[in-house]
Structure 1
Amino acid sequence: MPGSEATTTLLLLRHGETALTAQRRLSGSGGSDPVLSETGRRQAAAAGESLAKRDAVHAVVSSPLRRCRETAAAAARGLGLEVRIDERLREADFGVWEGLTFTEVRERYPDELAAWLRSPTAVPGGTGEPLASVAHRVESWRDELLARHAGQTVLIVSHVAPLRTLVRLALGAPPASLFRMELSAASVSEVAYDGSGIASLRSLNDTSHLR
Protein backbone atom coordinates (compact mmCIF):
# COMPACT_ATOMS: atom_id res chain seq x y z
CA MET A 1 0.00 0.00 0.00
CA PRO A 2 2.49 2.61 -1.17
CA GLY A 3 1.91 6.05 0.30
CA SER A 4 -0.60 4.85 2.90
CA GLU A 5 0.30 5.00 6.58
CA ALA A 6 -3.16 4.09 7.87
CA THR A 7 -4.10 0.61 9.03
CA THR A 8 -6.40 -1.46 6.84
CA THR A 9 -8.55 -3.86 8.85
CA LEU A 10 -10.15 -7.03 7.50
CA LEU A 11 -13.03 -8.47 9.54
CA LEU A 12 -13.44 -12.11 8.55
CA LEU A 13 -16.96 -13.39 9.16
CA ARG A 14 -17.75 -17.00 8.45
CA HIS A 15 -21.32 -17.60 7.30
CA GLY A 16 -23.94 -18.79 9.75
CA GLU A 17 -24.91 -22.40 10.24
CA THR A 18 -26.65 -24.48 7.56
CA ALA A 19 -28.10 -27.97 7.92
CA LEU A 20 -24.79 -29.35 6.60
CA THR A 21 -22.72 -27.24 9.00
CA ALA A 22 -24.59 -28.67 11.98
CA GLN A 23 -23.81 -32.19 10.74
CA ARG A 24 -20.16 -31.27 10.08
CA ARG A 25 -20.46 -32.19 6.42
CA LEU A 26 -18.26 -30.79 3.67
CA SER A 27 -20.13 -28.05 1.86
CA GLY A 28 -18.18 -26.41 -0.93
CA SER A 29 -18.93 -24.58 -4.14
CA GLY A 30 -19.67 -27.79 -6.02
CA GLY A 31 -22.53 -28.93 -3.79
CA SER A 32 -26.14 -28.01 -3.18
CA ASP A 33 -25.57 -24.36 -2.10
CA PRO A 34 -27.64 -24.64 1.12
CA VAL A 35 -29.34 -21.69 2.78
CA LEU A 36 -28.97 -20.72 6.43
CA SER A 37 -30.84 -22.77 8.98
CA GLU A 38 -32.98 -21.09 11.62
CA THR A 39 -29.97 -21.19 13.92
CA GLY A 40 -27.82 -19.74 11.17
CA ARG A 41 -30.21 -16.84 10.66
CA ARG A 42 -30.08 -16.05 14.37
CA GLN A 43 -26.28 -16.22 14.26
CA ALA A 44 -26.14 -13.87 11.29
CA ALA A 45 -28.41 -11.38 13.02
CA ALA A 46 -26.29 -11.53 16.19
CA ALA A 47 -23.11 -10.98 14.20
CA GLY A 48 -24.71 -8.01 12.46
CA GLU A 49 -25.76 -6.45 15.76
CA SER A 50 -22.27 -6.87 17.17
CA LEU A 51 -20.55 -5.43 14.10
CA ALA A 52 -22.86 -2.41 14.11
CA LYS A 53 -21.44 -1.45 17.52
CA ARG A 54 -17.87 -1.31 16.21
CA ASP A 55 -16.03 1.63 14.76
CA ALA A 56 -16.95 2.42 11.17
CA VAL A 57 -16.99 -0.41 8.63
CA HIS A 58 -16.56 0.99 5.13
CA ALA A 59 -17.45 -1.95 2.86
CA VAL A 60 -18.93 -5.46 2.88
CA VAL A 61 -17.74 -8.11 0.43
CA SER A 62 -19.24 -11.59 0.22
CA SER A 63 -18.89 -14.96 -1.44
CA PRO A 64 -21.65 -15.54 -4.03
CA LEU A 65 -22.96 -18.66 -2.28
CA ARG A 66 -26.34 -18.26 -0.61
CA ARG A 67 -25.28 -18.93 2.98
CA CYS A 68 -22.78 -16.10 2.72
CA ARG A 69 -25.10 -13.71 0.90
CA GLU A 70 -27.72 -14.21 3.60
CA THR A 71 -25.17 -13.67 6.37
CA ALA A 72 -23.72 -10.62 4.65
CA ALA A 73 -27.17 -9.10 4.11
CA ALA A 74 -27.95 -9.40 7.84
CA ALA A 75 -24.65 -7.73 8.74
CA ALA A 76 -24.91 -5.03 6.08
CA ARG A 77 -28.38 -3.93 7.22
CA GLY A 78 -27.04 -2.81 10.58
CA LEU A 79 -24.06 -1.13 8.94
CA GLY A 80 -26.11 0.74 6.33
CA LEU A 81 -23.98 -0.69 3.53
CA GLU A 82 -24.54 -2.61 0.32
CA VAL A 83 -22.97 -6.02 -0.22
CA ARG A 84 -20.45 -6.46 -3.01
CA ILE A 85 -20.11 -10.02 -4.35
CA ASP A 86 -16.79 -11.49 -5.44
CA GLU A 87 -16.49 -14.97 -6.95
CA ARG A 88 -12.98 -15.38 -5.56
CA LEU A 89 -14.42 -15.66 -2.04
CA ARG A 90 -16.37 -18.83 -2.83
CA GLU A 91 -15.60 -22.03 -0.95
CA ALA A 92 -13.41 -24.73 -2.49
CA ASP A 93 -15.09 -27.42 -4.59
CA PHE A 94 -14.75 -30.77 -2.81
CA GLY A 95 -15.78 -32.94 -5.77
CA VAL A 96 -17.42 -36.23 -4.80
CA TRP A 97 -16.65 -35.46 -1.15
CA GLU A 98 -19.40 -32.84 -1.12
CA GLY A 99 -21.96 -33.61 1.57
CA LEU A 100 -19.77 -36.19 3.35
CA THR A 101 -18.32 -35.94 6.84
CA PHE A 102 -14.57 -36.24 7.31
CA THR A 103 -15.15 -39.66 8.86
CA GLU A 104 -17.01 -40.80 5.73
CA VAL A 105 -14.29 -39.38 3.47
CA ARG A 106 -11.60 -41.14 5.51
CA GLU A 107 -13.48 -44.45 5.25
CA ARG A 108 -14.23 -44.22 1.52
CA TYR A 109 -11.24 -42.30 0.17
CA PRO A 110 -8.38 -42.80 2.66
CA ASP A 111 -5.50 -42.38 0.21
CA GLU A 112 -7.01 -39.33 -1.47
CA LEU A 113 -7.73 -37.68 1.89
CA ALA A 114 -4.19 -38.33 3.11
CA ALA A 115 -2.80 -36.75 -0.07
CA TRP A 116 -5.06 -33.69 0.34
CA LEU A 117 -4.01 -33.20 3.95
CA ARG A 118 -0.37 -33.51 2.92
CA SER A 119 -0.20 -31.38 -0.23
CA PRO A 120 -2.00 -28.14 -1.25
CA THR A 121 -1.84 -29.23 -4.89
CA ALA A 122 -3.82 -32.45 -4.31
CA VAL A 123 -7.28 -32.49 -5.90
CA PRO A 124 -10.06 -33.28 -3.39
CA GLY A 125 -12.85 -35.61 -4.40
CA GLY A 126 -11.35 -36.42 -7.78
CA THR A 127 -12.61 -33.29 -9.53
CA GLY A 128 -12.47 -30.61 -6.84
CA GLU A 129 -10.31 -27.53 -6.35
CA PRO A 130 -6.84 -27.83 -4.78
CA LEU A 131 -6.10 -25.59 -1.83
CA ALA A 132 -3.26 -24.06 -3.83
CA SER A 133 -5.84 -22.78 -6.29
CA VAL A 134 -7.94 -21.35 -3.46
CA ALA A 135 -4.84 -19.57 -2.13
CA HIS A 136 -4.03 -18.11 -5.55
CA ARG A 137 -7.45 -16.55 -6.08
CA VAL A 138 -7.79 -15.37 -2.49
CA GLU A 139 -4.35 -13.76 -2.49
CA SER A 140 -5.03 -11.85 -5.72
CA TRP A 141 -8.36 -10.67 -4.31
CA ARG A 142 -6.73 -9.58 -1.05
CA ASP A 143 -4.09 -7.54 -2.87
CA GLU A 144 -6.77 -5.73 -4.87
CA LEU A 145 -8.80 -5.10 -1.72
CA LEU A 146 -5.86 -3.62 0.17
CA ALA A 147 -5.17 -1.23 -2.69
CA ARG A 148 -8.84 -0.27 -3.06
CA HIS A 149 -9.61 0.16 0.65
CA ALA A 150 -6.31 1.38 2.08
CA GLY A 151 -6.83 2.74 5.59
CA GLN A 152 -10.38 1.40 5.84
CA THR A 153 -12.19 -1.45 7.62
CA VAL A 154 -13.78 -4.09 5.38
CA LEU A 155 -16.11 -6.92 6.38
CA ILE A 156 -15.48 -10.13 4.41
CA VAL A 157 -18.15 -12.84 4.54
CA SER A 158 -16.87 -16.16 3.29
CA HIS A 159 -16.14 -19.80 4.09
CA VAL A 160 -13.61 -21.87 6.01
CA ALA A 161 -11.01 -22.36 3.25
CA PRO A 162 -10.85 -18.74 2.00
CA LEU A 163 -10.91 -17.25 5.51
CA ARG A 164 -8.28 -19.64 6.85
CA THR A 165 -6.21 -18.77 3.80
CA LEU A 166 -6.41 -15.05 4.60
CA VAL A 167 -5.24 -15.79 8.15
CA ARG A 168 -2.45 -18.05 6.88
CA LEU A 169 -1.22 -15.43 4.42
CA ALA A 170 -1.23 -12.78 7.14
CA LEU A 171 0.89 -15.01 9.38
CA GLY A 172 3.19 -16.21 6.60
CA ALA A 173 2.36 -19.74 7.75
CA PRO A 174 2.71 -22.93 5.65
CA PRO A 175 -0.30 -24.48 3.89
CA ALA A 176 -0.58 -27.24 6.50
CA SER A 177 -1.57 -24.59 9.06
CA LEU A 178 -5.02 -24.45 7.42
CA PHE A 179 -5.91 -27.69 9.21
CA ARG A 180 -4.90 -26.27 12.61
CA MET A 181 -7.40 -23.40 12.74
CA GLU A 182 -10.92 -23.50 14.12
CA LEU A 183 -13.43 -21.16 12.47
CA SER A 184 -16.90 -21.72 13.89
CA ALA A 185 -20.11 -20.74 12.12
CA ALA A 186 -20.66 -16.96 12.34
CA SER A 187 -17.28 -16.44 14.02
CA VAL A 188 -15.32 -13.22 13.46
CA SER A 189 -11.56 -13.00 13.04
CA GLU A 190 -9.55 -9.83 12.50
CA VAL A 191 -6.44 -9.18 10.42
CA ALA A 192 -4.81 -5.75 10.16
CA TYR A 193 -2.30 -4.45 7.62
CA ASP A 194 -0.20 -1.42 8.49
CA GLY A 195 0.88 1.22 6.00
CA SER A 196 3.91 -0.80 4.91
CA GLY A 197 1.82 -3.91 4.25
CA ILE A 198 2.88 -5.80 7.38
CA ALA A 199 0.03 -7.96 8.67
CA SER A 200 -0.96 -8.88 12.20
CA LEU A 201 -3.64 -11.28 13.43
CA ARG A 202 -5.68 -9.45 16.08
CA SER A 203 -8.26 -12.13 16.84
CA LEU A 204 -9.31 -15.57 15.67
CA ASN A 205 -12.66 -17.39 15.88
CA ASP A 206 -14.40 -14.86 18.12
CA THR A 207 -17.92 -16.13 18.90
CA SER A 208 -18.63 -13.96 21.95
CA HIS A 209 -21.54 -12.28 20.10
CA LEU A 210 -23.32 -15.64 19.89
CA ARG A 211 -23.48 -16.21 23.66
Structure 2
Amino acid sequence: MTLGLDPGSTTTLVLLRHGETALTPGKRLSGSGGSDPALSETGSRQAEATAARLAADGTVRAVASSPLRRCRETAAAAANRLGLPVEIDDDLREADFGVWEGLTFAEVRARYPEEMAAWLRSPAAVPGETGEPFEAVTRRVESARDRLLTRYSGSTVLVVSHVAPLRTLIRLALGAPPESLFRMELSAASLSTVVYPSAGDASVRFLNDTSHLR
Protein backbone atom coordinates (compact mmCIF):
# COMPACT_ATOMS: atom_id res chain seq x y z
CA MET A 1 0.00 0.00 0.00
CA THR A 2 1.63 3.23 -1.14
CA LEU A 3 1.02 6.17 1.16
CA GLY A 4 2.28 8.91 -1.17
CA LEU A 5 0.96 9.85 -4.60
CA ASP A 6 2.34 11.42 -7.77
CA PRO A 7 4.43 14.33 -6.45
CA GLY A 8 3.75 16.34 -9.58
CA SER A 9 0.01 16.61 -9.02
CA THR A 10 -0.56 16.72 -5.25
CA THR A 11 0.92 17.54 -1.90
CA THR A 12 0.46 14.67 0.52
CA LEU A 13 0.63 14.80 4.31
CA VAL A 14 1.29 11.41 5.88
CA LEU A 15 0.02 11.75 9.45
CA LEU A 16 1.79 9.65 12.07
CA ARG A 17 0.67 9.55 15.67
CA HIS A 18 3.60 9.01 18.03
CA GLY A 19 4.28 5.59 19.49
CA GLU A 20 3.08 4.48 22.91
CA THR A 21 4.21 6.05 26.17
CA ALA A 22 3.53 4.76 29.67
CA LEU A 23 0.27 6.75 29.61
CA THR A 24 -1.07 5.43 26.30
CA PRO A 25 -2.39 1.96 27.29
CA GLY A 26 -4.55 3.50 30.02
CA LYS A 27 -5.88 6.14 27.61
CA ARG A 28 -4.77 8.92 29.96
CA LEU A 29 -4.86 12.50 28.70
CA SER A 30 -1.32 13.52 27.85
CA GLY A 31 -1.10 17.00 26.41
CA SER A 32 1.38 19.83 26.25
CA GLY A 33 0.60 21.12 29.74
CA GLY A 34 1.67 18.13 31.79
CA SER A 35 4.65 15.79 31.80
CA ASP A 36 6.59 15.16 28.60
CA PRO A 37 6.87 11.36 28.57
CA ALA A 38 9.30 9.43 26.41
CA LEU A 39 8.32 6.44 24.29
CA SER A 40 7.95 3.20 26.19
CA GLU A 41 9.74 0.06 24.99
CA THR A 42 6.60 -0.81 23.04
CA GLY A 43 6.48 2.70 21.61
CA SER A 44 10.10 2.50 20.48
CA ARG A 45 9.38 -0.77 18.69
CA GLN A 46 6.35 0.80 17.07
CA ALA A 47 8.43 3.76 15.90
CA GLU A 48 11.00 1.47 14.31
CA ALA A 49 8.32 -0.63 12.61
CA THR A 50 6.71 2.51 11.23
CA ALA A 51 10.08 3.83 10.06
CA ALA A 52 10.69 0.60 8.15
CA ARG A 53 7.26 0.90 6.50
CA LEU A 54 7.91 4.48 5.44
CA ALA A 55 11.37 3.67 4.12
CA ALA A 56 9.95 0.81 2.06
CA ASP A 57 7.26 3.10 0.69
CA GLY A 58 9.93 5.56 -0.42
CA THR A 59 7.76 8.63 -1.04
CA VAL A 60 8.40 10.87 1.98
CA ARG A 61 10.58 13.91 1.19
CA ALA A 62 10.36 15.86 4.46
CA VAL A 63 9.62 15.22 8.15
CA ALA A 64 7.84 17.66 10.49
CA SER A 65 7.26 16.96 14.17
CA SER A 66 5.70 18.27 17.34
CA PRO A 67 8.33 19.44 19.84
CA LEU A 68 7.14 17.01 22.52
CA ARG A 69 9.52 14.16 23.31
CA ARG A 70 7.32 11.27 22.26
CA CYS A 71 6.93 12.79 18.81
CA ARG A 72 10.57 13.78 18.45
CA GLU A 73 11.61 10.20 19.24
CA THR A 74 9.08 8.76 16.80
CA ALA A 75 10.11 11.23 14.10
CA ALA A 76 13.82 10.53 14.66
CA ALA A 77 13.32 6.82 13.97
CA ALA A 78 11.68 7.60 10.63
CA ALA A 79 14.09 10.39 9.71
CA ASN A 80 17.10 8.16 10.36
CA ARG A 81 15.74 5.53 7.98
CA LEU A 82 14.81 8.12 5.38
CA GLY A 83 18.02 10.13 5.62
CA LEU A 84 16.10 13.33 6.29
CA PRO A 85 16.26 16.05 8.97
CA VAL A 86 13.38 16.60 11.38
CA GLU A 87 11.69 20.00 11.26
CA ILE A 88 10.19 20.89 14.65
CA ASP A 89 6.95 22.86 14.48
CA ASP A 90 5.51 24.08 17.77
CA ASP A 91 2.06 24.36 16.21
CA LEU A 92 1.96 20.56 15.93
CA ARG A 93 2.07 20.10 19.71
CA GLU A 94 -0.78 18.40 21.56
CA ALA A 95 -3.56 20.40 23.21
CA ASP A 96 -3.08 21.51 26.82
CA PHE A 97 -5.63 19.71 29.00
CA GLY A 98 -5.01 21.76 32.14
CA VAL A 99 -5.75 19.96 35.41
CA TRP A 100 -7.11 17.01 33.42
CA GLU A 101 -3.59 16.01 32.40
CA GLY A 102 -2.88 12.40 33.35
CA LEU A 103 -6.54 11.50 33.92
CA THR A 104 -8.68 9.10 31.93
CA PHE A 105 -11.92 10.24 30.30
CA ALA A 106 -13.84 8.31 32.98
CA GLU A 107 -11.96 10.10 35.75
CA VAL A 108 -12.56 13.50 34.16
CA ARG A 109 -16.26 12.72 33.73
CA ALA A 110 -16.52 11.70 37.39
CA ARG A 111 -14.63 14.69 38.80
CA TYR A 112 -15.61 17.43 36.34
CA PRO A 113 -18.92 16.33 34.79
CA GLU A 114 -20.20 19.77 33.76
CA GLU A 115 -16.85 20.89 32.35
CA MET A 116 -16.47 17.63 30.42
CA ALA A 117 -19.97 17.96 28.95
CA ALA A 118 -19.20 21.51 27.82
CA TRP A 119 -15.90 20.43 26.26
CA LEU A 120 -17.56 17.63 24.31
CA ARG A 121 -20.24 20.04 23.13
CA SER A 122 -18.27 23.14 22.13
CA PRO A 123 -14.82 23.70 20.55
CA ALA A 124 -14.68 27.01 22.46
CA ALA A 125 -14.82 25.26 25.87
CA VAL A 126 -11.65 25.36 27.96
CA PRO A 127 -10.62 21.92 29.25
CA GLY A 128 -9.20 21.45 32.71
CA GLU A 129 -9.82 25.02 33.87
CA THR A 130 -6.69 26.44 32.22
CA GLY A 131 -6.28 24.27 29.11
CA GLU A 132 -6.49 24.99 25.40
CA PRO A 133 -9.86 24.92 23.61
CA PHE A 134 -10.11 23.05 20.33
CA GLU A 135 -10.81 26.25 18.41
CA ALA A 136 -7.32 27.46 19.41
CA VAL A 137 -5.81 24.10 18.43
CA THR A 138 -7.54 24.40 15.07
CA ARG A 139 -6.07 27.84 14.38
CA ARG A 140 -2.49 26.77 14.98
CA VAL A 141 -2.89 23.45 13.16
CA GLU A 142 -4.23 25.34 10.14
CA SER A 143 -1.14 27.55 10.27
CA ALA A 144 1.18 24.53 10.40
CA ARG A 145 -0.69 22.86 7.53
CA ASP A 146 -0.53 25.94 5.34
CA ARG A 147 3.20 26.36 5.95
CA LEU A 148 3.86 22.74 5.02
CA LEU A 149 1.71 22.90 1.89
CA THR A 150 3.55 26.02 0.74
CA ARG A 151 7.04 24.86 1.61
CA TYR A 152 6.69 21.33 0.24
CA SER A 153 4.26 21.84 -2.61
CA GLY A 154 4.08 18.72 -4.79
CA SER A 155 5.88 16.53 -2.25
CA THR A 156 4.98 13.99 0.44
CA VAL A 157 5.56 15.15 4.01
CA LEU A 158 5.54 13.03 7.16
CA VAL A 159 3.77 14.88 9.99
CA VAL A 160 4.46 13.37 13.43
CA SER A 161 2.01 14.66 15.99
CA HIS A 162 -0.73 13.80 18.49
CA VAL A 163 -4.38 12.84 18.54
CA ALA A 164 -5.92 16.34 18.66
CA PRO A 165 -3.80 17.97 15.92
CA LEU A 166 -4.02 14.95 13.61
CA ARG A 167 -7.77 14.56 14.09
CA THR A 168 -8.06 18.28 13.35
CA LEU A 169 -6.18 17.93 10.06
CA ILE A 170 -8.44 15.05 9.07
CA ARG A 171 -11.59 16.91 10.15
CA LEU A 172 -10.62 19.97 8.13
CA ALA A 173 -9.88 17.84 5.06
CA LEU A 174 -13.30 16.21 5.34
CA GLY A 175 -15.12 19.47 6.03
CA ALA A 176 -16.59 17.73 9.08
CA PRO A 177 -18.01 19.52 12.16
CA PRO A 178 -15.97 19.89 15.38
CA GLU A 179 -17.86 17.09 17.15
CA SER A 180 -16.37 14.62 14.66
CA LEU A 181 -13.07 14.90 16.57
CA PHE A 182 -14.49 12.50 19.15
CA ARG A 183 -15.56 9.98 16.49
CA MET A 184 -12.14 9.14 15.06
CA GLU A 185 -9.80 6.44 16.30
CA LEU A 186 -6.10 7.17 15.86
CA SER A 187 -4.04 4.42 17.46
CA ALA A 188 -0.46 4.83 18.64
CA ALA A 189 1.94 4.76 15.65
CA SER A 190 -0.96 4.73 13.19
CA LEU A 191 -0.67 6.26 9.73
CA SER A 192 -3.29 8.35 7.96
CA THR A 193 -2.97 10.21 4.67
CA VAL A 194 -4.49 13.47 3.49
CA VAL A 195 -4.02 14.53 -0.12
CA TYR A 196 -4.16 18.16 -1.25
CA PRO A 197 -4.52 18.51 -5.04
CA SER A 198 -3.18 21.63 -6.71
CA ALA A 199 -6.81 22.30 -7.68
CA GLY A 200 -9.82 20.93 -5.85
CA ASP A 201 -10.68 19.76 -2.37
CA ALA A 202 -8.50 17.79 0.01
CA SER A 203 -9.31 14.12 0.53
CA VAL A 204 -8.50 11.51 3.15
CA ARG A 205 -6.99 8.42 1.55
CA PHE A 206 -6.08 6.31 4.59
CA LEU A 207 -7.16 6.47 8.24
CA ASN A 208 -5.65 4.77 11.28
CA ASP A 209 -3.56 2.26 9.32
CA THR A 210 -1.69 0.00 11.76
CA SER A 211 -0.91 -2.89 9.39
CA HIS A 212 2.85 -2.25 9.82
CA LEU A 213 2.59 -3.06 13.53
CA ARG A 214 1.26 -6.60 13.11
- Same fold (TM > 0.5): yes
Alignment of 1:113 onto 2:113: no
Runs of 4+ in structure 1 over 6 Å off: none
Alignment match of 1:137 (pick from 119, 129, 140): 140
Query: How many residue pairs were aligned?
Result: 208
What is residue 91 of structure 1 aligned with on the other side?
Answer: 94
Which is further off, 32-41 or 193-202?
193-202
Among 7, 10, 28, the residue aligned to 2:10: 7
Q: Is the 8 Å Cα contact of residues 6 and 150 (structure 1) preserved in structure 2?
A: no
How many percent of aligned residue pairs carry the same amino acid?
74
Alpha-carbon distance in 1 for matches of 2:185, 2:107:
20
Match of 1:64, SS? coil
* Residues 5 and 196 in structure 1, CA contact (< 8 A), matched pair in contact too: no
- CA shift, 1:56, in A, is 2.3
Q: Distance in 2 between matches of 1:36 and 1:113?
A: 28
Equivalent residue for 1:171?
A: 174
Name the counterpart of 1:204: 207
1:49 equivalent in structure 2: 52
Alignment partner of 2:24 out of 8, 21, 29: 21
Instruction: Give the letter for the 2:99 counterpart.
Output: V
Distance 1:45 1:100 in 2: 28
Q: Report the counterpart of residue 157 of structure 1 in structure 2.
A: 160
Q: What amino acid maps onto 1:145 in structure 2? A: L
Partner amino acid, structure 2, of 1:50: R
**If the length of structure 2 is used for normalisation, what is the TM-score?**
0.95
- In 2, Cα distance between equivalents of 1:187 and 1:135: 21
Partner of 2:3: none
User: What is the one-letter code of the residue matched to 2:121?
Assistant: R
For normalisation by structure 1, the TM-score amounts to 0.97
Task: Flag structure 1 segments of 5+ consecutive residues without an equivalent.
Answer: none
Specify the SS of the correspondent of 1:18. coil
Tell me the distance in 2 between the aligned counterparts of 1:55 and 1:41.
21
